[in-house]
Amino acid sequence: MNKVTAGVVGVLLGAVASWVITSYDSGPAPEPAPTVEEATAFIVEVEKTYDELGEYAGHVFWVQANFVNFDTNFLVAKASEEFTALGVKYANQAKRFNDLELSVDLRRKINLLKQGLTLPAPDDPEKNKELAQITTDLDSSYATGKYCREDGTCLNDRDIIRTMATSRDADELLDVWKGWRTISPPMRDKFARLVEISNEGARELGYANVGDLWRAGYDMKAEDFAAEVDRLWGDVKPLYESLHCYVRGKLVEHYGDAARSDDGMIPAHLLGNVWAQQWGNIFDIVGEGGADPGFDLTKILQGNGFDERRMVEAGEAFFTSLGFDELPETFWERSLFTKPRDRDVQCHASAWSIDAKDDLRIKMCIEITADDFSTIHHELGHNFYQRAYKGQPTLFQGGANDGFHEAIGDFIALSITPSYLKQLNLLQEEPDASKDVGLLMIQGLDKIAFLPFGLLIDKWRWQVFSGEVTSENYNAAWWALRQQYQGVKPPVERSEADFDPGAKYHIPGNVPYMRYFLAHILQFQFHKAACDMAGWEGPLHRCSIYGNEEVGKRFNEMLVMGSSKPWPEALKAFTGTDKMDGSALVEYFAPLKVWLDEKNAGQQCGWNAG
């Protein structure tokens, strides 16, 4: 997750028209027509303010994420109120220049300024204050959430995640699945009010609703972007359907009636993940016989004495092997790698650029696992991207689109191949080609399984923000989408007394989620382009670019662009095409698709979502 905090407080900008009352005219004098010079001065002042005060904001939010308590929540709520108010003020002032003929860069900055508010408050101090308090309360509710059993034992999110990953007792899995969802019903009314207030703010900026605002940030019309993600889903959907069919059959073999259903859907508590978003944790159930990968990276890391810092050092070493500079010493001094024993922290992994220059950090409660090894590469991808574009003007210091930011580190992690592990002396010999299905199964249980989940989170929020889904049917609409796209259903009856969306961090945390779906497309597109540059001729899933400085140079050329150009231009700079495309992902997993379809022969695949 990319945590770039661009908080701003301070002066109000722009000329305010004088309201002149005379004996000859009882109305306001007309506002002078805006000029290009005014627009230029406006943006200069905005960027100066953002640059000066962004570091202050970074520290405020960093402290709260690492010390979650009453006082830090108060400080974040206060800062959020002030920062959002100024952001709304700037965005509304930017509308004054909508019809001017401006340079390409200046017009882009004006648009980014308007689209940069995830949750725009109305130009109303009381509503802005209320929205800031709601967002802080929701984030804190998730960070401090616990499921307390009748015996008095309480489980936080890390405990729940660990149990869902390791337990093979269907009753225990059901208990913790239900238990974690007890944290979210109190969020429901606050979330509904958040939708109401932020929609009002979006309308003031000229958008139909917040969902329309979010979709407008992709250098195309909002409706065109919605069609684009549907097109990409169509590219990769057959892969998911094959994986779903195979996994469902294996779960029925293992759990019997607890996994069996007449509609073909999979009960959500049996997939090794509290949200059923990635299924890699049940590899021991589904990855048998021909799906043996030949090694267990978690055991290798633990057996070689890896600790939290060494995990991060390995991730940094990959980037430096491509020619990137080492991370600054302050990164190692100020990052959080382990969960403290004495306080609540927000353990959800995130990457931070505190000063938009060199104060880079990650915050993560690292465990010595293959999953966290990959996640570290993901988070460091944010940091190296943040540093690459630090020379851009403030409003261009961001990803080409938010999917780019999430894809960068995951693209690097695709090079965690047997050949790479051998180069690190973590493997003595690479598994032969007969193990490829196993290697791909491990990847596919996470990468392929995630695709529909990554899509539906924001499809649900788009419906909520548009009013198609109201607070009276939040939960029903949530499960309708999960059944439609994932073929996954709740293991017990759910009702509108529940608020299951709130049990997923990105809903109370108000983090747009389509970026993760796009990242799962883009990372494979980046990987194929990089492997082609490197002259790789073998199967795409066996390619590693570790140590290839020429690829690193081309990669950096894309990163330094930040958001200064529309994302198709940035994409073309590295891949040679300006169109997102799922074909690289399909190529990567082609051997697995063949294997799955052979295993599924004679099975009734698919599901009935009702």
Residue with tokens 């210091």: 397
Q: In the structure encoding, which two tokens stand for residue 152, read together?
A: 């008095």
- First vs last Cα of the chain: how many Å apart? 34
How many residues are present in the chain? 610
Contact 266, 488 (CB under 8 A): yes
- Given the residues 91, 207, 218, 348, the one annotated as active site: 348
Q: Which residues pair with 489 in a beta bridge?
A: 267
CA angle 542, 240, 228 (to 5 degrees): 95
Catalytic residue among 406, 503, 505, 519: 406
Dist. CA 378–CA 413, nearest whole Å = 7
Q: Choose, from 385, 389, 516, 546, the residue flagged as catalytic.
A: 516
The answer to whether 379 is a known catalytic residue is yes
Options 269, 382, 520, 541, the catalytic residue: 382
Listed residue (265, 296, 258) closest to 280, CA to CA = 296
Q: What are phi and psi of 398, to 5 degrees?
A: -165, 175
Contact 506, 517 (CB under 8 A): no
Query: Under 8 Å CB-to-CB from 156, ≥6 apart: which residues?
Result: 145, 146
Annotation marks residue 506 as catalytic: yes
Are the CB atoms for 448 and 244 separated by under 8 Å?
Answer: no
d(C-alpha 412, C-alpha 382), whole Å: 11
Q: Which tokens in the block code for residue 235?
A: 């590219």
Question: In Å, how far are 293, 295, 315, 507 from 410, measured between CA atoms?
Answer: 20, 21, 11, 22
- Residue 299: enclosing H or E segment and its boundaries? helix 297-303
DSSP line for 17-60 = PP----SS--SPPPPPPP-HHHHHHHHHHHHHHHHHHHHHHHHH
94 is annotated as an active-site residue: no
Which among 373, 380, 365, 381 has a CA at the least distance from the CA of 311? 373
Closest CA to 534 of 406, 415, 384: 415
267 three-state secondary structure: strand
Q: Which of 128, 111, 104, 131 is closest to 221 using CA atoms?
A: 111
Active-site residue flag, 308: no
Which residue in the list 377, 405, 506, 527 is annotated as catalytic? 506
Return d(Cα 485, Cα 235) in angstroms, integer: 14
Q: Is 382 a residue of the active site?
A: yes
Annotated catalytic residue 405: no
Q: Are 457 and 467 in contact (CB under 8 A)?
A: no
Q: Is residue 440 within 8 Å of residue 541, measured between CB atoms?
A: yes
Q: Check 269, 378, 520, 527 and give the catalytic one.
A: 378
Q: Which residues pair with 360 in a beta bridge?
A: 353
Q: Which of 57, 77, 79, 349 does the annotation list as catalytic? A: 349
Sign of CA dihedral 478, 228, 596, 586: negative
Of 561, 552, 560, 564, which is closest to residue 526 (Cα–Cα)? 552
Given 39, 91, 379, 385, the catalytic residue: 379
Strand pairing report for 147-148 and 2-3: unpaired
* CA–CA gap between residue 490 and residue 173 (Å, rounded): 12
Residue 348 annotated in active site:
yes
CB atoms within 10 A of CB 154: 11
DSSP code string of 335-350: -B-S--SSS----S-E
Q: Does the annotation count 406 as an active-site position?
A: yes
CA neighbor of 85 nearest in space, from 33, 123, 31, 41: 123
**Catalytic residue numbers?**
348-349, 378-379, 382, 406, 506, 516
